Structures are given as structure tokens and as C-alpha cells.
Amino acid sequence: MPSNLETVLFLHIPKTGGLTLRGIIEDQYAKDERLKYPRLQPARFHSLPKRKLTSLRCVYGHFAYGIHSTLHQPFTYITILRDPVERVISTYYFVLQNPQNRLHHQVKQMSFEQFVSRSLVTIKPDSFQGNQSRI
């Protein structure tokens, strides 16, 4: 594909409905045209060869604004936003109901009120990928 096509950068903010959009992306773009951003190994993305980067039509996942600086073609960011209060409520119940979540042990001992009032001090916002708003 010509490199003058825009690459879509889907910045997935947790608990906003992004998995639905991710499924659509995976249906719409061929495997060799899309890349799930390696959240735990961002250096892998930034060290991809120019040829690979220019062939990408979509990059999706949990990342911060700015990954476009690695690209060599036009780009467009997209994301899904959610009411911040609803997002905090959803996050609380998601962590409570998922023992495999790394914050489950901490959060299961908190009421919702404690979670909201203590999360800025006790739980780092980055634990929730606080790209939309800080929890």
C-alpha cells in the first residue's frame, strides 16, 4: 500500500468500550496492516523497521499520545471517551470481580467510597491507564 494513506492510531482507554472497536479493527484490517501496541514493551514498537511502520494502516492498544513521532506517514488518532464517573464505577466493579487483576487484593478490602477517596494516594493512576481522566 502507498505510504501516503493515514495510519489510524486507536488509543484504547480501559473501561470505555474499546474492546468492541478493537474487534471491528481486527475485522477491517488485514493482520499485516495492523499492530496491537506492545504495552509492556514499547521499545519493540519504536524499533520496528521503517518498512514495517509504513505498511501499518492501524495501531491499537494502550499507549500514550505521542507514538506518531515514530511513524513516517500521515496519521489520525481515535479513541472512545466515557463519562468519568461511570468509568470509575465500572473500574471499581471490574477490579472487584476479577481476582487475576493486579489491584484486586487491594481493592477488595475497600468500599466504593474508600476506593474513590483513596485511589489518588493508594493506587497510582497509571495502574488504570488514566489517559482519559485521573481516577
Calculate the alpha carbon distances from 90 to 4, 25, 77 in Å. Answer: 39, 24, 24
Chain segment 20-63, per-residue pLDDT in tens: 999 999 999 999 999 999 877 888 999 999 999 999 999 999 99
pLDDT at 129 over 50: no
CB 68, CB 18: distance < 8 Å: no
pLDDT at residue 50, rounded to an integer: 93
User: In degrees, to the nearest 5, what angle opens at C-alpha 25 toward C-alphas 22 and 31?
Assistant: 110
pLDDT of the residue at 4: 57
pLDDT computed for residue 9 by the predictor? 97
* Residue 68 to residues 28, 60, 124, 134, Cα–Cα distance (Å): 21, 12, 26, 23
pLDDT value at residue 131: 44
Higher pLDDT, 3 or 43: 43
Write out pLDDT tens, residues 73-125.
999 999 999 999 999 899 999 999 999 998 899 999 999 999 988 754 444 44
118 grid coordinates: 483513596
16 three-state secondary structure: coil
What φ, ψ does residue 84 adopt, rounded to 5°?
A: -60, -35
Answer with the residue of higher pLDDT: 8 or 128: 8
